[in-house]
């Protein structure tokens, strides 16, 4: 069933975005992010973004308010993640940590809340 696959993809996205929080924490302590800031800023480059904007998501789903909200929140999250990554690349770890604790965390939390809401709607057939 398509809703089940959607729900699975959303669950994977929740897990992946949680892992990115840890990766950024490590990066502001001097670890390498493993990807350039430009790639991190691209909301189509991650696995969830590839799925969200890819052919598996049909046109009808893309017209739903839930999909539009998630696409917007996901893009905003990646903009903030890219900004943190750029600061890390520039060696400005103090500013990166401040952005991580501020804008990045707020956008990440909004995205995660949106993903959980969408997953719940799919579980109840409202998706």
Domain locations in the chain? Answer: 2-123
Query: Which residue is it, tokens 């398509």?
Result: 2
How large a percentage of the chain has pLDDT more than 90? 59
- The full DSSP string for 37-77 is HHHHH-TTTSHHHHHHTSTTS-HHHHTSHHHHHHHHHHHHH
User: Predicted confidence band at 3 (pLDDT cuts at 50, 70, 90)?
Assistant: low
Tell whether the model's pLDDT for residue 46 goes beyond 80.
yes
Tell whether the model's pLDDT for residue 1 goes beyond 60.
no
C-alpha of 19 from chain center:
11
**Euclidean distance between CA atoms 74 and 112, whole angstroms:** 9
pLDDT of residue 117: 92
- The predicted model scores a pTM of 0.87
- Please state which CATH class domain 2-123 belongs to: mainly alpha
pLDDT of residue 17: 78
């Amino acid at each position: 069933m398509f809703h089940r696959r959607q729900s699975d993809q959303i669950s994977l996205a929740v897990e992946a975005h949680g892992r990115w929080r840890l990766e950024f924490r490590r990066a502001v302590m001097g670890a390498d992010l493993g990807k350039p800031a430009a790639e991190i800023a691209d909301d189509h480059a991650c696995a969830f973004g590839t799925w969200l904007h890819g052919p598996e998501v049909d046109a009808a789903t893309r017209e739903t308010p839930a999909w539009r909200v998630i696409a917007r929140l996901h893009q905003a999250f990646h903009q903030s993640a890219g900004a943190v990554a750029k600061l890390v690349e520039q060696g400005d770890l103090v500013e990166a940590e401040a952005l991580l604790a501020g804008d990045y965390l707020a956008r990440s939390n909004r995205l995660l809340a949106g993903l959980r809401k969408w997953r719940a709607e799919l579980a109840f057939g409202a998706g």
